[in-house]
């Protein structure tokens, strides 16, 4: 079968799908990632065929617009996702679908997929699948806060435009939803509406660095704030985190930062090592704790390695990840911006995560739960069944 992959233009939204896409190719199916260069660059780097459509989105530029000077998004009053306001996350993707659906549709008509596999927020994918009467499958990359409300909101906002492109009736529901989030962390209302799949850590390709060959100098704590935290005025906070960890005995702090920002941490304590960003799955097995922003990749990779986490969310869905991990006992969440700038408070939280056994036990339980889920290869037959589904109309689902 031919599977068209569509994804909102952020590489971190695609990477959780990559192991399933490899599994499809290994099973002999044709896979093509179509989207803006933000996505197709990541696809090609992962060894997947891609078709670039439209201009680069550049999420960093979007997030920086209107940001107060020297302030992080959470210090500037930027809206963040919670269980009470899940619609925040859909807003940019409504605009995205408004302008790109026609281009995606033109490409899809030419390529003629048997199945559309998309991230749930790529709203144009539902329109393309509905217009071409091809089954739609969702692959979650996030905690599912919207459910069917996302589809209804998209139809209310864009239904007339989609109808002019050829959509008859409502936007289709997916015939299958695939979810790599461990059920004990996922929102309870979302667990029953999806098929679980084991999260296979993929944070990009890379070479194991030589420093991984030596044992850590005591407990190793990884500090990783993704691709944009430093860019979005996050360096003062990262410096507070490093100062907090440097005050812990027998602890080595490993900070991943791009070169232009690494110099801003100098002078560092002897226990602090700053390295260029590299895939987390190459070195987390040497760590006892991960400090991060609550990004999906950092969160799920840390969970897969069974590590306690100190989460300092900055924007978007990150506070929700922090809350769910803390509720599961595997993390401590510091969500208030002023507290994120307090080295003493951060040091106490890190010490508790390193020394109180309940956190490590909870993290290991989540890792065991993830390891017991169906592999991406196990899910491929369900996608084959979905592609053979006779209709895409709302309300139907693969059993």
Per-chain mean pLDDT for the chain: 90
* DSSP output for 64-118: HTTPPTT--GGGTT--B--TT-GGGGGHHHHHHHHHHHHHHHHHHHHH--SEEEE
pLDDT tens track for 91-147: 778 888 888 999 999 999 999 999 999 999 999 999 999 999 999 999 999 888 777
Instruction: Establish if 397 belongs to a structural domain.
Output: no
Q: Are residues 229 and 109 in the same domain?
A: no
Radius of gyration for the alpha carbons in the chain, expressed in angstroms and rounded: 21
Provide the pLDDT confidence category of residue 390 given band limits of 50, 70 and 90.
low
CATH number of the domain within which 177 lies: 3.40.50.2000
Instruction: Establish if 396 belongs to a structural domain.
Output: no
Q: Are residues 149 and 225 in the same domain?
A: no
Number of domains making up the chain: 2
Q: Are residues 245 and 182 in the same domain?
A: no
Provide the pLDDT confidence category of residue 334 given band limits of 50, 70 and 90.
very high
Instruction: Establish if 46 belongs to a structural domain.
Output: yes
Distance CA 316, CA 300 (A): 16
Among 280, 223, 297, 215, smallest CA distance to 254 is for: 223
Among 21, 59, 19, 18, smallest CA distance to 38 is for: 59
Q: Are residues 166 and 17 in the same domain?
A: yes
Q: Are residues 379 and 367 in the same domain?
A: no
How much is the average pLDDT of 163-181? Answer: 95
Among 340, 335, 230, smallest CA distance to 274 is for: 230
Residue 308, both tokens: 């306690």
How much is the average pLDDT of 161-190? Answer: 94
Distance CA 5, CA 15 (A): 12
Residue 312 has pLDDT above 80, yes or no: yes
pLDDT at position 76 is: 77
Q: Are residues 230 and 192 in the same domain?
A: no
Instruction: Establish if 204 belongs to a structural domain.
Output: no
pLDDT at position 365 is: 98
Instruction: Establish if 398 belongs to a structural domain.
Output: no
Distances 58 to 158, 256, 280 between C-alpha atoms, Å: 23, 21, 23
pLDDT tens track for 258-294: 888 888 887 678 889 999 999 999 999 999 999 999 9
Residue 355 has pLDDT above 50, yes or no: yes
Q: Which domain holds residue 278?
A: 210-371
pLDDT tens track for 196-248: 999 999 988 888 888 888 888 889 999 999 888 888 889 999 999 999 999 89
């Amino acid at each position: 079968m031919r599977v068209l992959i569509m994804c909102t233009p952020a590489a971190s939204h695609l990477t959780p799908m990559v192991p399933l896409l490899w599994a499809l190719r290994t099973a002999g199916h044709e896979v093509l990632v179509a989207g803006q260069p933000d996505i197709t660059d990541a696809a090609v780097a992962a060894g997947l065929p891609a078709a670039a459509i439209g201009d680069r989105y550049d999420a960093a530029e979007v997030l920086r617009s209107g940001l107060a000077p020297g302030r992080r998004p959470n210090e500037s009053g930027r809206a963040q996702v919670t269980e009470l306001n899940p619609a925040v996350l859909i807003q940019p993707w409504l605009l995205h679908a408004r302008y790109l659906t026609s281009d995606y549709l033109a490409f899809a008509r030419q390529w003629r997929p048997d199945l559309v596999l998309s991230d749930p927020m790529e709203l144009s994918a539902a329109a393309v699948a509905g217009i071409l009467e091809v089954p739609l499958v969702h692959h979650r990359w996030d905690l599912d806060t919207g459910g069917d409300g996302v589809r209804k909101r998209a139809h209310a906002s864009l239904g007339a435009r989609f109808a002019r492109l050829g959509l008859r009736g409502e936007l289709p529901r997916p015939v299958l939803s695939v979810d790599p989030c461990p059920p004990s962390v996922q929102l309870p209302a979302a667990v029953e509406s999806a098929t679980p799949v084991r999260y296979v850590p993929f944070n990009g390709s890379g070479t194991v660095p030589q420093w991984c060959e030596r044992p850590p100098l005591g407990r190793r704590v990884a500090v990783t704030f993704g691709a944009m935290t430093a860019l979005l005025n996050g360096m003062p906070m990262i410096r507070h985190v490093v100062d907090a960890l440097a005050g812990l005995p027998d602890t080595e702090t490993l900070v991943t930062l791009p070169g232009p920002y690494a110099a801003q941490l100098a002078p560092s304590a002897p226990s602090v090592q700053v390295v260029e960003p590299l895939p987390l799955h190459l070195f987390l097995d040497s760590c006892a704790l991960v400090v991060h922003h609550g990004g999906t990749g950092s969160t799920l990779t840390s969970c897969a390695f069974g590590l306690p986490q100190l989460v300092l969310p900055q924007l978007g869905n990150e506070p929700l990840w922090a809350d769910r991990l803390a509720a599961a006992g595997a993390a401590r969440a510091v969500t208030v911006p002023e507290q994120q700038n307090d080295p003493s408070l951060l040091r106490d939280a890190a010490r508790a995560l390193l020394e109180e056994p309940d956190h490590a036990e909870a993290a290991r339980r989540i890792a065991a739960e993830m390891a017991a889920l169906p592999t991406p290869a196990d899910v491929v037959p369900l996608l084959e069944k979905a592609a053979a589904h006779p209709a895409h109309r709302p309300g139907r689902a693969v059993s």
